[in-house]
């Protein structure tokens, strides 16, 4: 009974902080104020002050977390609505996603090698641009540390959301298609959520590339990992 009450408090508390932070973001639209980031920071501070460990938080948190599965499924709808455009641009989409995946994984490998990072950590970093549920499984298959992978996935997401818009302007990536594919292949669902700000076409391009990235990534990941052991 007490546990149920605690779980409900956690869920409502998380939603309340999120709603407040969302209001703040709508008011100021400053990139560092994206609700996921501010809500996370505030909740970490709250949990530390109240001495609540992560495992206790997850008693309630898992209910929110379990909606990620249906949310990934939900992405089929924007995809379906834009299917004609997706089919007619299949070539730039596939090439963009593929190039993104390869450069992403190879660059991690090179930097980490140069800086002498150990192998399990490199393996945990490889799936960073895939959507969380996929990245976790890929990390496990590769022999990485799944919770670590979640964090890299989140960092990749935030990089795209916070630095992405200005960075793409710099590189003159200004077509809706280019932006969507960049968001989806580098910053998975967080980038896809951000891409909604650029309109429905960008959103569906982003969700297409996120999905494709997840599928291709679970195939390419093991090949790149094999290169590490060479």
Partner 1 sequence: MKIITIIFQIAILYAFSFIGNVLHDLFNLPIPGSIIGMLLLLVGLSLKIIPVRFIEAGVGFLLKYLSLLFIPAMLGIMNHPSLLSFKGSLLVVITVISTMITMGAAGLMSQFLEKREQLRKEKEKCSKHYSQSL
> Within positions 86 to 115, which residues make up the interface with partner 1, using CB under 8 A?
89, 91-93, 95-97, 99-101, 103-104, 107-108, 111-112, 115
- Answer yes or no: are the C-beta atoms of 46 and 16 closer than 8 Å: no
Provide the terminal-to-terminal Cα distance of the chain, rounded to the nearest Å. Answer: 54
Nearer to partner 1, 4 or 48 (CB): 48
* Residues between 154 and 213 that touch partner 1 (CB under 8 A): 154-157, 159-160, 163-164, 167-168, 171, 173-175, 177-179, 181-183, 185-187, 189-190, 192-193, 196, 209, 211
Print the binding letters for residues 51-80 with partner 1: x by CB under 8 A, - otherwise.
Answer: --xx--xx--xx-xx-xxxxxxxxxxxxxx
CB of 108 to partner 1, least distance (A): 5
Print the binding letters for residues 129-158 with partner 1: x by CB under 8 A, - otherwise.
Answer: x--xxx--x---x-----xx-xxx-xxxx-
| Among residues 9, 16, 26, 83, the one that binds partner 1 under rule CB under 8 A | 83
CB of 23 to partner 1, least distance (A): 14
| Total residues interacting with partner 1, rule: CB under 8 A | 101
CB of 2 to partner 1, least distance (A): 20
181, 198, 182, 193: which is closest to 75 by C-alpha?
Answer: 193
SS3 (DSSP) at 82? coil
Q: Is 119 in the site for partner 1 (CB under 8 A)?
A: no
Nearer to partner 1, 5 or 121 (CB): 121
The DSSP line for 114-176 is: HTT--HHHHHHHGGGGS-HHHHHHHHHHHT--HHHHHHHHHHHHHIIIIIHHHHHHHTT--SH
Q: Is 16 in the site for partner 1 (CB under 8 A)?
A: no
Nearer to partner 1, 5 or 99 (CB): 99
Number of Cβ within a 10 Å radius of residue 93: 22
Tell me how many helices (H) and strands (E) the chain has. Answer: 13, 0
Q: Is 14 in the site for partner 1 (CB under 8 A)?
A: yes
Cβ neighbours of residue 61 under 8 Å, at least 6 residues apart?
A: 10, 11, 14
Q: How far apart are CA 131 and CA 120, in angstroms?
A: 20
């Amino acid at each position: 009974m007490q546990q149920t009450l605690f779980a409900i408090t956690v869920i409502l508390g998380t939603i309340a902080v999120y709603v407040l932070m969302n209001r703040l973001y709508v008011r100021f639209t400053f990139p560092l104020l994206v609700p996921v980031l501010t809500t996370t920071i505030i909740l970490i501070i709250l949990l530390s002050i109240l001495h609540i460990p992560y495992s206790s938080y997850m008693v309630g948190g898992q209910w929110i977390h379990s909606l990620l599965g249906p949310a990934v499924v939900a992405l089929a709808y924007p995809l379906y609505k834009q299917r004609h455009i997706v089919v007619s641009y299949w070539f730039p989409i596939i090439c963009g996603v593929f190039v993104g995946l390869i450069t992403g994984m190879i660059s991690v490998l090179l930097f980490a090698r140069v800086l002498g990072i150990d192998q399990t950590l490199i393996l945990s970093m490889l799936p960073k641009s895939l959507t969380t549920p996929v990245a976790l499984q890929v990390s496990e298959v590769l022999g990485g540390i799944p919770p670590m992978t979640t964090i890299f996935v989140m960092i990749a997401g935030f990089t795209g959301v916070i630095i992405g818009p200005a960075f793409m302007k710099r590189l003159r990536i200004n077509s809706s298609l280019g932006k969507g594919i960049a968001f989806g292949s580098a910053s998975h669902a967080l980038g896809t959520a951000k891409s909604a700000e650029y309109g429905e076409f960008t959103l569906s391009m982003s969700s297409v590339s996120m999905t494709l990235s997840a599928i291709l990534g679970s195939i390419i990941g093991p090949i790149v990992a094999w290169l590490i052991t060479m």
